[in-house]
Each structure stands twice: as structure tokens, then as C-alpha cells.
Amino acid sequence: MDTLAIGALLLFLMFLLLSGGVWIAMTLAICGWVGQAFFTSTSPGNNLFSSFWESNSSWELAALPLFIWMGEILFRSKLSEEMFEGLSPWLNRIPGRLMHTTILGCGIFGSVSGSSAATCATISKVALPELLKRGYDEKMILGSLATAGTLGILIPPSITMVVYAVAADASIIRIFLAGFLPGFLLMGLFSGYIMWWSLKHPDLVPPKDAPTTFLEKIKKSEKLIPCSVLILFIVWVLIAGYATATECAAYGVLGSLALAYWSKSLTWQAFKDGLMGTMRTSSMIMFILAGAAFLTKTMAFTGIPRELAEWVDHMHLSPYALIAVLTFVYIILGTALDGISMIVLTSAVVLPMIQKAGFDLIWFGIFIVLLVEIAEVTPPVGFNLFVLQNMTGKDSNTIAKAAIPFFACVVVCIVLITAFPQIVTILPDVLMGKA
């Protein structure tokens, strides 16, 4: 059977299983098994066990449950509520008000975690109940959290950026520097949409709080100090090189436990509930990662990503037509693969094409990271959709629909960096020179 026909068949099977209510991780694993058993000569049993072990035995992955536990502690103590009370008077005049905390929180936390799933899970645990309690529109909250969570892989440090730098034999530091301005641009686009939506739908936004004086704002800001100090400390030790992302996650847990104890909101029951919540969310994410890793092996054995890349190469497109077609191809791959696998499985064919077309490899690194962000909110294999589905009980397709406007913001960001590549390249060029 033709390679692309095999891919279409597996994609159809995936939609069929998901629509039938089969667990997401099981769906991915079943599709991987079918692909290997019927369309390759390899042993699916051995690959299944190795994929499940390899995908969950990474030291870097240890940061995931720690960051989620940190979010659980903040959620189950008074700290998250006090943080929103402290922010409320400052955001009262801005359309959308506290909705912007999802964007800001994901941006800041993304700079620490380097993981889309960890960012989405942690910020959602803190922001979702607080915003719903205050009467904000659930659809907007879910859409903003699903897409803003992807800032974890765009704002450095980022595991995805490291993988690309290795695959492209490019400078990791230059890739990191190149991610800052596009990251801030995307945050601005997200917040801009929230403001526009809030002005267009004032009936779906809670009424403004009573006006407060500057001194009253300062007094309420005291509630921001505990969480702000914790976040700044985590960011500082990471940037200064005193700790890895995993060690930062451990500091975050210890700091949040200390703050919860200091605020007298740390009870034994809250501690146990936080651990159980962390175990459930972390197990769900890791099970999905394992299923996706097995499906990725199937894709590698069948050669579907490489076949797609070679198909594009044989079209002999102009530079910008090439970028347009690659965007389409990576979005298709994102329906079945995680971001790192998309890069690893296609880089050998795609990177020479990009260099031949005259594009800067550093620029293309940010371009492909933005496409990976789109993959994180593209069904059926959108990790952020799965995270929010587990946390809210909402169907992943419902969350995906809520994320469509923010999805469009990512597309606008891709168009802008393509039209003005200096957005990506100016920072590494200025700070490190063009050599």
C-alpha cells in the first residue's frame, strides 16, 4: 500500500476510536500497533514496551509532576486567590481584565518549565477555578489556556528548541535568543484578541470592580508579594545557571509548601488532595506521551513524515510557496505526532530544502516551533487539549473550537515573522553578532 495511504488509514482509525470514547493514550497505542503489525516487518510488541519505557524514563520529564504539584499547592491554599485579588485593581480598566492573567501566567511560567504540557496544566490549575468563580466566560478561558500554554516551548529555555538546534547543527544560545521577541509578540496578539473580544461582548465579561485609589491598589498588591517572589526566584536561579529546570521545579514545590504553611492554609487534607491531583494529572500526561511515542515509532518505520517531506521537495517550489506548503505539511503531521518527533523525523529532508531556498536556519527554528505550537492544539493529538479535557471534563473538540481564535493569532504571528524575519533574527544578531 502507498505510504501516504497508510497514513490516511491510521488517521481515520484514530478519529474512529476517539469518537467511540476510547482513551486517548490507548487510541494512540492501538493506531501504532496496527501500523506496525500490518504495514511493517518490525515487532510491535517489543517496540511498544521500549516506547513506553523510553518516553517516561527521561530525567527532564521529572520536572512535569513537580510543576503540576506546585500548581496544586497554590490552588488548594489561599495563595492563588490572593494573587488574583492583588491583580484585579490593576487590570480593572483594561478590557478583559483578569483574562489577561492566563496569557501573562503562561508566558512567565513557560520561561521556567520549557514544557507546553506543564505550563498548561499548572496555570490552568490556578487560573481556571478563580476565573470561573469570578464569572468569566468559560469558552474564552479554555481557549486562552490551551493556546497560551504553548508559550512554554516558544519562550526559552525550551526542550523543543534544543532538539531543533541539535538536528540543524545550530547554536542553542542563538535559537534561545531568537525566541524572545516572537514570544512577546504572540503574547501581545493573544491579549489583543482578548481585549477586542471583551469590547465586542461586554455582556460576557463580569462588571468592573468599584474604582480604587492608587494607595488602595498598592495595599492590595501586598497579596502579590508571596507568589511573585517565588516565581522571580525560580526564574532567577534558572537564568543565572544555578539550577536546571527540574531543580527549579523542586524549588517551586518547596517554596509553595513554605508559603502555604506561612499563610496557615496548608492542612493535611489539602496536602493529600494535592498529591492525588498531581498523580492523576501526571499519570494522564505520561500515559499519553507513551502512546504518542509508540505511534511516532510507527510513523518512522512506515516513513510517512519523510515521504511527505520528499513530496514537497519534488515540487520545486519558490521560497515562499515552499514555506506555505511546509506549513500545511507540518499541520497535517501535528494531527498525529508530537512536536519533537515532527522535527526529528523530517529534519534530514527539510533542512537542506530550507538552506537551498535561502532561509536562515535560526529563523526556521522559530518558524517550526510556532508550527509545533499549532500542533499542540490540533485534534486529535493535541496535548494541551488532552490536559484541559482531563482537568475540566470537557470534550477535546469543544476545547479545540474555543481555541480557534487564538489558533488564528499563532497563524498571524507566523505570517509576521515570515514577512519581517528581523523579528526573529535581530536579537541574536545584536547580542552575538552575525558570525
213 alpha carbon, distance to own chain's centre: 38
Q: Which range has the top average pLDDT, 218-222, 272-276, 298-302?
A: 272-276
pLDDT in tens, 372-392: 888 778 776 677 887 788 778
Higher pLDDT: 288 or 13? It is 13
pTM: 0.73
pLDDT interval class at 185 (50, 70, 90) = very high
CA distance to 88, 99, 138, 253, 283, per residue, from 130 (Å): 12, 10, 11, 21, 25
Give the CA radius of gyration of the chain. 22
Q: Closest Cα to residue 81, out of 129, 120, 119?
A: 129
In the block, which residue shows the cell 524575519?
421
User: 169: buried, middle or exposed (CB in 10 Å: 19+, 13-18, 0-12)?
Assistant: exposed
C-alpha cell recorded at residue 382: 493535541
| Res. 435: pLDDT tops 60 | no
Percent of the chain with pLDDT over 70: 88
pLDDT the model gives residue 126: 76
CA distance 143 to 254: 31
Q: Mean per-residue pLDDT for 277-302?
A: 79
- What per-residue confidence (pLDDT) applies to 80? 63
CB-CB neighbours of 93 under 10 Å:
9
Provide mean pLDDT across the span 423-428.
Answer: 90
Q: What does the pLDDT average to over 31-48?
A: 85
Q: Quick one: residue 303, left, alpha or beta (phi over 0 = left, psi -120 to 50 = alpha)?
A: left
CB 343 within 8 A of CB 164: yes
CA distance 167 to 189: 30
DSSP 3-state percent helix, strand, coil across the chain (nearest 5): 80, 0, 20
pLDDT exceeds 90 at position 91: no
Q: Give the CB-side neighbour count of residue 301, counting CA atoms within 13 A.
A: 20
Whole-number Å distance between alpha carbons of 327 and 332: 9
pLDDT tens-place string over residues 322-373? 888 888 888 877 776 667 777 766 776 778 788 878 888 899 999 988 888 8
Of residues 48 and 156, the one with the higher pLDDT is: 48
**In this structure, how many other beta carbons lie within 10 angstroms of the beta carbon of residue 50?**
13
Cα–Cα separations (whole angstroms), residue 149 to 94, 120, 239, 361: 22, 4, 20, 25
Dihedrals phi, psi of 338, to nearest 5 degrees: -80, 165
CA-wise closest residue to 414 among 375, 380, 364, 354: 364
Averaged over 118-146, what is the pLDDT? 84
Alpha-carbon distance of 380 to 299, in angstroms, equals 16
User: What are φ and ψ of residue 65, in 5° steps?
Assistant: -65, -30
| Band (242; pLDDT cuts 50, 70, 90) | confident
DSSP string for 270-326 = HHHHHHHHHHHHHHHHHHHHHHHHHHHHHHHHHTHHHHHHHHHHTT---HHHHHHHH
Euclidean distance between CA atoms 244 and 68, whole angstroms: 17
Q: CA–CA separation, 155 vs 84, rounded Å?
A: 23
- pLDDT of 96 > 90? The answer is no
DSSP letters spanning 224-255: GHHHHHHHHHHHHHHHTTSS-HHHHHHHHHHH
**Stretch 31-41: mean pLDDT:** 86
Name, in order, each residue with C-beta under 8 angstroms of 48's C-beta and a sequence gap of 6 or more: 29, 32, 33, 294
Answer yes or no: is pLDDT of 1 > 70.
Answer: no
Q: Is 389 exposed, middle or buried (0-12, 13-18, 19+ CB in 10 A)?
A: buried
